[in-house]
């Protein structure tokens, strides 16, 4: 999951954003967006494969990864503005292919409906926005908060560590993908100054723990996206423990123009756990959609 070549990019009106930029300058542009509480490392294997033929950009959403939080309330609108800001700062004015995992999928859809001229198409990997259920554990953060309490915090540190390990393992069908390097990096991300406020603010803006996501924002976003008919590929893992695989059916119902693909033996991060198969699907979708667009 190495992203040693990541750097910081000054973005107008916001904080410097941690990014990776790889691949041929004239290749089809691709922007990769991670999920809640995560970082661009979740795209590292797919990033490297896509960069063989695409101008590939990964970013840490503000307040997550190693990017500081900007002004204002965190949420889909703020994250979408940051994504467009990154493209502007890189001078990328061509319509891009947005790929989003989990929360990143909802951010990608938001960019598509608020900045339609900037988006060529969407590849959504286990994306938020297609159902009420969202199994996001708050235990690591709870134990981390308790671990910071003077006098009693020390006893909670092992529990915080164990909860973090378990959360990372549950992202995969094969838990061996949750390497020690990934777990250490997730811990580093969770200790960033803006992480807790961004996580809580984002989560509460989209739903209520245990009760699920609010239907209002999902309905508005999907209605607008269906009307816009943005070319869309939806990929899901059949063993997704965070956003259940039946959300794929809901996605194809809400977006009748979209294509769908279910990966077997795959968890919540198909772009990581099944990077080769995922990127092959994504690259073929970009190629065939681009050819169809030129023919039209």
Q: Can you give the three-state secondary structure of the chain, one letter per residue?
A: CCCCCCEEECCCCCCCEEEEEECCCCCCEEEEECCCCCCHHHHHHHHHHHCCCCEEEEECCCCCCCCCCCCCCCCHHHHHHHHHHHHHHCCCCCCEEEEEEEHHHHHHHHHHHHCHHHEEEEEEEEECCCCCCCCCCCHHHHHHHHHCCCCCHHHHHHHHHHHHHHHHHCCCCCHHHCCHHHHHHHHHHHCCCCHHHHHHHHHHHHEECCCEECHHHHHHHHHHHHHHCCCEEEEEECCCCCCCCCHHHHHHHHCCCCEEEEECCCCCCHHHHCHHHHHHHHHHHHHHHHHHHHHC
CATH number at residue 261: 3.40.50.1820
pLDDT digits (tens, 9 = 90+) for 121-136: 999 999 999 998 887 6
Lowest-confidence region among 8-12, 89-93, 160-164, 278-282: 160-164
Question: Would residue 168 count as lying in a domain?
Answer: no
Q: What is the pLDDT of residue 278?
A: 98
Question: Would residue 35 count as lying in a domain?
Answer: yes
pLDDT band for 146, please (50, 70, 90 cuts). very low
Rg (C-alpha) for the chain, rounded Å, is: 18
Q: What is the pLDDT of residue 115?
A: 97
Residue 288 has pLDDT above 60, yes or no: yes
**For the chain, what's the residue count?**
296
Question: Would residue 98 count as lying in a domain?
Answer: yes
Question: Would residue 185 count as lying in a domain?
Answer: no
pLDDT band for 284, please (50, 70, 90 cuts). very high
pLDDT band for 42, please (50, 70, 90 cuts). very high
Question: Would residue 43 count as lying in a domain?
Answer: yes
Q: What is the pLDDT of residue 133?
A: 85
Residue 68 has pLDDT above 80, yes or no: yes
Lowest-confidence region among 7-16, 107-116, 285-294: 285-294
Domain span holding position 92: 7-135+211-295
Residue 147 has pLDDT above 70, yes or no: no
Question: Would residue 247 count as lying in a domain?
Answer: yes
pLDDT digits (tens, 9 = 90+) for 167-224: 889 999 999 999 999 999 998 998 899 998 999 899 889 986 656 788 899 999 999 9
| Counted domains in the chain | 1
Question: Would residue 182 count as lying in a domain?
Answer: no
Question: Would residue 148 count as lying in a domain?
Answer: no
């Amino acid at each position: 999951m190495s992203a040693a070549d990541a750097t910081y990019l000054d973005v107008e009106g916001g904080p410097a954003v941690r990014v990776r930029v790889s691949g041929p300058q004239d290749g089809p542009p691709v922007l990769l967006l991670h999920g809640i509480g995560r970082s661009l490392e979740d795209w590292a294997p797919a990033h490297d494969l896509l960069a063989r033929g695409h101008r590939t950009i990964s970013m840490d959403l503000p307040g997550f990864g190693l990017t500081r939080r900007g002004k204002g309330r965190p949420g889909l609108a703020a994250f979408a503005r940051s994504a467009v800001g990154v493209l502007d700062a890189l001078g990328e004015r061509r319509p891009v292919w947005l790929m989003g995992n989990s929360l990143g999928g909802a951010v990608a859809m938001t960019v598509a409906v608020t900045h339609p001229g900037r988006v060529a198409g969407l590849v959504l990997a286990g994306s938020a926005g297609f159902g009420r259920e969202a199994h996001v554990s708050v235990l690591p953060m709870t134990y981390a908060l308790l671990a910071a309490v003077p006098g009693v915090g020390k006893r909670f540190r092992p529990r915080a560590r164990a909860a973090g390990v378990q959360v990372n393992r549950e992202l995969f069908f094969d838990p061996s993908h949750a390497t020690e390097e990934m777990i250490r990096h997730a811990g580093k991300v969770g200790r960033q100054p803006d992480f807790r406020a961004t996580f809580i603010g984002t989560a509460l803006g989209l739903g209520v723990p245990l009760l699920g996501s609010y239907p209002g924002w999902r309905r508005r976003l999907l209605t607008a996206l269906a009307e816009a008919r943005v070319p869309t590929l939806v990929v899901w893992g059949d063993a997704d423990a965070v956003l259940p695989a039946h959300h794929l059916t809901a996605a194809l119902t809400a977006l009748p123009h979209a294509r769908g693909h279910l990966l077997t033996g795959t968890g919540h991060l198909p772009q990581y756990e099944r990077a080769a198969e995922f990127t092959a699907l994504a690259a073929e979708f970009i190629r065939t959609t681009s050819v169809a667009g030129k023919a039209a």
